[in-house]
A and B are shown apart, each in its own frame.
Chain A
Amino acid sequence: MKNTALKRALSTVVVLGTLGTGVLATAGSASAVTRDGYLDIREFGLFYNSSLGGSFIDLYMADGDLSNDRFISPGPGQGYVVGNNAASYFNKDKVTWYVYTGASAGGIEGWIPPDRFGTFSDTFKNEVSSVYHFKAR
């Protein structure tokens, strides 16, 4: 089962700096800077811990293989692989994002509407391997 307390406890990265949506930091810009550790408008965030906790990665565009990516913002989980390892999400985009349990939109498909955040279920095994800002199959 993913997201075990043990696994999360093993992450001891010290929290540095202040996190935010980056909205004000990027005010006036229509294009978010992807993978900069700030979750801007039009981006999709994947977090290492449940309930928007820990380090996260901010994605502007689809990513067909999250095993190539690392959590980048300061916090527990920073530097860990994102694929099959994300515990929560925040869709700050204006469009629906689709998540898949397999790379390249394989496996099971889920959808997340704009401005929705949540925790990938602890009840069921659902490891997200790829994400798209459009329906990818």
Chain B
Amino acid sequence: MRPRRPLAAAGLLLSAGLSLTACSSGEPAVSAGAKPLSDPAKVSAAQLVYPLDPYKTSNEQIRSLEKAQDLLTADCMKRFGFTYKPPVRPLPRPQGTSSRYGVTDAATAARYGYLKPGVGPGPGKGAEDPLSPSEQLALSGPPLKAKPGGGMALPPLTLEESRKTDSGRTLNGQKVPVGGCGREGHLRLYAEKKDPVDLLYVFGMESEAFSRAKEAPKVAKALKAWSACMAEQGYRVTDPISPQKALGLTSEADFGTAPAIAAAKQDVACKKRTDLVSLWYAAETGFQSELMDEHAETLKQVKVELDERIRKAASVNGS
């Protein structure tokens, strides 16, 4: 029996009926009798629940963090005599039918093809009033220094470090922060004294599990079966996530055309016939659990920092 991960993750798995066993064959280390957190036969692929979900920032939390960062940036800009105008953001959308496994919903495919309902081709960016040079300097700071060999020298990683670093520019008698008020607003929320665990850490774990699952024998076999199924209708594709380019759909303007809809319908039908999503999901949850075991301490820190960050955002937002 492999060591149990502590605390919340263990509770999550136990409540889901997962039991972990040693892994040696490239298959996820979840016992054959383990139950995934969702049943792909009963819920859509977009609604599937994963072991790592509790460690992710929810959409609502992201909205709160955005608002708080805007307020902190505005607070800094005020020091220099400017009024910061937050960007206009697209309205939050309800949970759609798009999933990480590409098109999976028959009704959506029949109507939209490879377009994502409510998304494609996506909102543009709202025009903004031009910033004066001084305003722009306050918001973004002076240009970052070039790094020998290409790229940019890293700005300070924490607010504490930033306050000890001279950007070399002053405005209205005050030192401009390195990276300007935009960066200061970010650091006040995310990294006052300590650089947090990589914000993409969980994304990395998910990506790793997703890729490993794709290579797992049962999934690899289903992938081949999916390709063969697609070929029955003349579609020569190997990537079930984003087959658009291989299908000759070169831009989003093509994704909702009649040929795209025909291909998407076949895509969904083939995924169902080969049980691809169910197999991938089962393998993926197993690999996520493995990775959670391996990185339990870091994950614990991720959760602590996420909770602290959300509390701070709520405080800034006055909620």
Contact = CB atoms under 8 A, between A and B. Distances in A.
Partners in one complex: yes
Interface in A63-104: 64-65, 67, 73-78, 90, 92-96, 99, 101-104
Given A60-B125, A104-B252, A20 B143 contact: yes
A112 B242 contact: no
A115 B4 CA distance: 38
B75 to A, nearest CB: 14
Given A29-B130, A41-B131, A110-B200, 18 more contacts: A19-B146, A20-B145, A23-B142, A42-B125, A54-B149, A64-B252, A75-B149, A76-B149, A94-B86, A102-B241, A108-B210, A109-B100, A111-B199, A113-B190, A116-B186, A124-B204, A126-B204, A136-B119
A60 B123 CA distance: 12
Interface in B120-139: 122-125, 127-133, 136-137, 139
Nearest to A54: B150
Given A28-B130, A41-B139, A105 B152 contact: no
A30 interface: yes
A30 B151 contact: no
21 contacts: A19-B150, A20-B144, A20-B152, A23-B141, A25-B143, A41-B182, A54-B150, A55-B151, A76-B150, A96-B66, A103-B244, A104-B114, A104-B116, A105-B116, A113-B186, A118-B198, A121-B198, A124-B207, A134-B123, A135-B92, A137-B96
B265 interface: no
Given A42-B125, A107-B210, A125-B208, A53 B150 contact: yes
Contacts of B114: 104
Interface footprint category on B: 35 or more
A48 B140 CA distance: 23
Contacts of B185: 114-115
A63 to B, nearest CB: 10
Contacts of A39: 152
B200 A126 contact: yes
Interface string B197-241: 011110111111011000000000000000000000000000101
Interface in B91-110: 92-93, 96, 98-102
B182 A73 contact: no
B256 interface: no
B44 to A, nearest CB: 13
A56 to B, nearest CB: 7
Interface of B: 46, 57, 59, 62, 65-66, 69, 86-87, 89-90, 92-93, 96, 98-102, 114, 116, 119, 122-125, 127-133, 136-137, 139-155, 179, 182-183, 185-186, 190, 198-201, 203-208, 210-211, 239, 241-242, 244-245, 252, 255, 291
Contacts of A135: 59, 90, 92-93
A133 B203 CA distance: 17
A108 B203 contact: yes
A33 interface: no
A113 B69 contact: yes
Nearest to B284: A108
Contacts of B179: 115
Contacts of B127: 30-31
Given A103-B245, A126-B208, A61 B124 contact: yes
B182 A94 contact: yes
Contact of B203 (A30, A51, A110, A113): A110
A19 B131 contact: no
Contact of B207 (A61, A62, A101): A101
Contacts of A121: 198, 200-201, 204
Given A30-B131, A102-B241, A113-B199, A19 B151 contact: yes
